[in-house]
Amino acid sequence: MIAVAVLGHGVVGSGVVEVLERSRASIGKKAGADLYVKKILDIREFPHLPYAHLFTKSFEEIVSDPEIRVVVEVMGGVTPAFDFVSAALRAGKSVVTSNKELVAAKGAALVALAREHGQNFLFEASVGGGIPIIRPLHQSLAADEIDEIVGILNGTTNFILTKMIRENMGFDAALKMAQELGYAEANPAADVEGIDTCRKICILASLAFGSHVYPDKVPTQGITSVTLEDIQYAEDENCVIKLLGHTRRLNGKCFAVTGPCLVSRESPLAGVDDVFNAILVRGEVTGDVVFYGKGAGKLPTASAVVSDIIDCVTADGPIATLQWSDSDGNNVIDSREDAVPRYLRCRGEGLFAKIGAAFGEVHLLRRPGKPADEEAFTTAPISGYELEEKLAALTAQGVEVLSTMRVWGQQ
Ligand code: HSE
- In terms of domains, do 60 and 95 share one? yes
Q: What are phi and psi of 101, to 5 degrees?
A: -65, -45
Looking at the predicted structure, is the pLDDT value of residue 265 above 90? yes
When pLDDT is averaged across residues 18-41 and rounded to a whole number, the result is 97
Contact between 13 and 77 under an 8 Å Cβ cutoff? The reply is no
Q: Are residues 142 and 287 in the same domain?
A: yes
Q: pLDDT confidence of 411, banded at 50, 70, 90?
A: low
CATH number of the domain to which 47 belongs: 3.40.50.720
Measured from the Cα of 127, ligand 1's closest atom is: 8
Count of domains observed in the chain: 3
**Interval between CA 384 and ligand 1 midpoint (Å):** 29
Condensed to tens digits (0 to 9), the pLDDT of residues 319-357 reads 999 999 999 999 999 999 999 999 999 999 999 999 999
Instruction: Look at residue 330 and tell me if it is in a domain.
Output: no
For 166-211, write each residue's pLDDT tens digit. 998 889 999 999 999 999 998 999 999 999 999 999 999 999 999 9
401 and 350 in a common domain: yes
pLDDT digits (tens, 9 = 90+) for 50-88: 999 999 999 999 999 999 999 999 999 999 999 999 999
Average per-residue pLDDT for the chain: 96
CATH of the domain at 180: 3.30.360.10
pTM above 0.85, yes or no: yes
38 is catalytic: no
Residue 238 pLDDT: 97
> Is 260 part of a structural domain of the chain?
yes
Ligand 1 atom nearest to 277, measured from its CA: 6
* Residue-level pLDDT at 153: 98
Note whether residue 107 is domain-resident: yes
If asked whether residues 100 and 116 sit together in one domain, one would say yes
pLDDT at 410 over 90: no
CA–centroid distance, residue 186 to ligand 1 (Å): 10
Do 249 and 176 belong together in one domain? yes
Helix pair 298-314, 24-31: axis angle to 10 deg: 30
Does residue 145 share a domain with residue 104?
no
CA-to-CA separations, 150 to 29, 277, 407, in angstroms, rounded: 36, 11, 12
Q: Would you say the CB of residue 159 lies under 6 angstroms from ligand 1?
A: no
Phi, psi of 17 (to 5 degrees): -60, -40
Q: What is the DSSP secondary structure assignment for residue 145, as one 8-state letter?
A: P
Q: Is the CB of 183 under 6 A from ligand 1?
A: yes
161 and 253 inside one domain:
yes
Domain that holds residue 365: 339-408
Q: Which of 39, 106, 163, 200 is catalytic?
A: 200
For residues 251 and 305, state if they share a domain.
no
Q: Is 103 in the pocket of ligand 1 (CB under 6 A)?
A: no
Q: Which residues contact 15 (CB under 8 A, 6 or more apart)?
A: 298, 299, 301, 302, 305
Residues 101-133 as b or e (16 or more Cβ within 10 Å = b): bbbbbbbbebbbbbbebebbbbbbbbbbbbbbb
> What is the atom index within ligand 1 of the atom nearest the CA of 178?
5
The pLDDT tens digits for 88-128 are: 999 999 999 999 999 999 999 999 999 999 999 999 999 99
